[in-house]
Chain A
Amino acid sequence: AQSVTQPDIHITVSEGASLELRCNYSYGATPYLFWYVQSPGQGLQLLLKYFSGDTLVQGIKGFEAEFKRSQSSFNLRKPSVHWSDAAEYFCAVGAGTGNQFYFGTGTSLTVIP
C-alpha cells in the first residue's frame, strides 16, 4: 500500500540556518512527489513537485528537493531559513496517473531569531 512518512513532527531552526525536512514514501512505481506548505490559518500552497527527469527540483521561496529512488526519499531543503518560513510542511505522493494522492502527517517548522 502507498504511504508517506515524515519522521520529524516538529523542527526548530535559527533564522539563517539551513533546513532539511525528511520525507520517505512507499510506492511500487515511480511516483509523483510534492511538497506543500501551510501557513497558520491558511490553505495549502504547492512548493514544488517531481514528475520525472532531473531528480533535483527547484521550487518557490528558495526551496529545493531531491528525489532519491534508492532511498525512497524526497527531502526538502533550503540553504537559509527566513522567519516567514515558519509553517507546517506536507510531503505527498501521487500514485498511478495522478488519481490518488497520499499525504504525510506533516512537519511543523519553528524559526527562532
Chain B
Amino acid sequence: DADVTQTPRNRITKTGKRIMLECSQTKGHDRMYWYRQDPGLGLRLIYYSFDVKDINKGEISDGYSVSRQAQAKFSLSLESAIPNQTALYFCATSAGGELFFGEGSRLTVL
C-alpha cells in the first residue's frame, strides 16, 4: 500500500459543485502539502500544514480550502468548482527536507 494515499484518483464534476479531495498518510510526518499541476506550469503550492493546528496558504490558495483532521489526514476542498480548476492535484508529506508524493487526483470540471 502507498504511504501517501489520495482519493478519488479521478473525478469529473460540474461547475458550481463542491468537491473534496482527501489525503491520508502512514509515514507519521507532521508536514503535509497540496500541490496543483498544470501542463507547462509545473507544480504550484495550494496549501500546507506543519501540524494539525498550523495551516498556511500557498501561492494559489484562492478558490480552495483545506482541513487537517488529524496528523495523518489533510483534505482539499473546492467550495464551488470552476473549469479552470481542472488539473492534477498532488498531496505530499515531508520530513528531513524531502517531499513524498501521493499518486495524484485528476479533477475535471465541466
Contact = CB atoms under 8 A, between A and B. Distances in A.
A99 B31 contact: yes
B101 A98 contact: no
Nearest to A104: B42
Interface centre among A90, A94, A99 (most CB of B within 10 A): A99
A46 B45 CA distance: 18
Interface string B75-110: 000000000000000100010111101111000000
A32 interface: yes
Given A104-B42, A105-B42, A34 B98 contact: yes
B103 to A, nearest CB: 4
A105 to B, nearest CB: 4
Interface in B1-47: 31, 33, 35, 40-45
Contacts of A36: 101
Interface residues of A, number: 24
A42 interface: yes
A51 B104 CA distance: 26
Interface size class of B (residues with CB under 8 A): 20 to 34
B42 A49 contact: no
B98 A98 contact: yes
A46 B41 CA distance: 19
B30 to A, nearest CB: 11
Contact of A43 (B31, B44, B50, B103): B103
Nearest to B101: A44
Nearest to B4: A43
B42 A106 contact: yes
Contacts of A106: 40, 42
A103 B43 contact: yes
B98 A90 contact: no
Given A43-B103, A105-B41, 5 more contacts: A90-B43, A98-B96, A99-B50, A104-B42, A106-B42
Interface of A: 4, 6, 9, 32, 34, 36, 42-44, 46, 49, 51, 90, 92, 94, 97-101, 103-106
